[in-house]
Amino acid sequence: MTRDAGTYVFTLYVAGATERSDAARSNLRRLCASRLVDGYEVTVIDVVDRPELAEEHRILATPTVIRIAPLPQRRVIGDLSDERRAALALGLPDSAELSEERGGDD
């Protein structure tokens, strides 16, 4: 698969089918859909099923999301329920930048 340079790539680490895991998954997808005009990819890894990946990527708590691209990588631990804080921590464009990219009025 070829990625567009503007595509954001995330890996979300969760532990089982819990409310917190489901919330993190939903919140990340909602955050991406509302802020990323050039597209995004989300891979979800359940550390219960794949503990070796958790160890390899030094996942100490779940849920944890890692922004893989664009570089530099960024990590956020938690369910991402505070959209503004999560967007800032993941380095996502803010609403003003989005409006400009979409050709909106100031």
Residue 12 sits in which domain range? 8-96
Q: Is 43 a member of any domain? A: yes
Omega into 72 within 30° of 0, i.e. cis? Answer: yes
Q: Is 103 a member of any domain? A: no
pLDDT at 39: 86
Domain CATH code at residue 14: 3.40.30.10
Residue recorded with tokens 């958790």: 54
Q: Is 104 a member of any domain? A: no
pLDDT at 4: 55
Q: Is 31 a member of any domain? A: yes
Overall number of domains in the chain: 1
Q: Is 21 a member of any domain? A: yes
Query: Mean pLDDT in runs of 10 for the chain (106 residues)?
Result: 69 93 94 88 95 93 95 93 92 64 48
Tokens at residue 50, please?
A: 């794949």
pLDDT at 1: 42
pLDDT at 14: 96
**22 contact partners, CB below 8 Å, separation of at least 6:** none
**Of all helices (H) and strands (E), which one includes residue 58?**
none
According to DSSP, the residues that pair with 77 across neighbouring strands are 64
pLDDT at 93: 85
